[in-house]
C-alpha cells in the first residue's frame, strides 16, 4: 500500500524595500521616488501654461533677447566698448553651442 506524502507549501513574502525620507513629502524606495502629492506637471506662468521646462526656456530666451537687444543698440550708438561685442558673442556662442538633446550610447559589448 502506497502512502501519499502531503506536501506543504510555504510562501515566502517578497522582501520590501527600505523607504528613506529625502525631504518633506518625498521618499526614496529602492529605485523609485515616491511623493505624498504628485509633482507639478503644469506651470501657470504669466499668460501661458505648460510644463516647467517650457517656462524656464521661455524665460531664458526673453532675458537673452533683452540683453542682446541692449548690446546691439549700444553698438549702433557708436559705443566702442568691447563689453558689448563680447556679450553678444557670449550669448550667441551659448545658444549655438548648446546641445540639449544628448543621447547616452552604451559602448560596452554584451557577451
Residue 42, all three cell numbers: 503644469
Q: For position 19, what pLDDT does the model report?
A: 79
* 12 Cβ contact list (under 8 Å, min separation 6): none
Q: Please give the C-alpha separations between residue 5 and each of 1, 2, 8, 12, in angstroms, as whole numbers.
A: 13, 9, 10, 22
Query: How many CA atoms does the CB half-sphere of 41 hold within 13 Å?
Result: 2
Q: Are strands 32-35 and 26-29 parallel, antiparallel or unpaired?
A: antiparallel
Residue 57, all three cell numbers: 526656456
The pTM (predicted TM-score) of the whole model is 0.50
Average pLDDT, stretch 18-47? Answer: 76
The mean pLDDT value of the chain amounts to 77
Q: For position 65, what pLDDT does the model report?
A: 93
Give the torsion sign (CA, 71, 75, 81, 82): positive
CB atoms within 10 A of CB 47: 5
Amino acid at each position: 500500500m502506497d502512502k501519499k506524502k502531503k506536501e506543504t507549501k510555504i510562501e515566502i513574502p517578497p522582501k520590501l524595500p527600505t523607504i528613506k525620507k529625502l525631504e518633506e513629502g518625498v521618499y526614496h524606495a529602492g529605485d523609485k521616488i515616491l511623493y505624498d502629492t504628485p509633482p507639478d506637471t503644469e506651470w501657470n506662468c504669466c499668460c501661458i501654461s505648460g510644463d516647467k521646462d517650457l517656462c524656464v526656456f521661455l524665460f531664458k530666451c526673453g532675458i537673452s533677447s533683452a540683453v542682446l537687444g541692449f548690446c546691439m543698440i549700444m553698438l549702433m550708438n557708436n559705443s566702442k566698448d568691447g563689453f558689448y561685442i563680447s556679450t553678444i558673442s557670449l550669448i550667441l556662442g551659448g545658444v549655438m553651442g548648446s546641445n540639449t538633446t544628448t543621447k547616452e550610447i552604451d559602448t560596452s559589448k554584451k557577451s
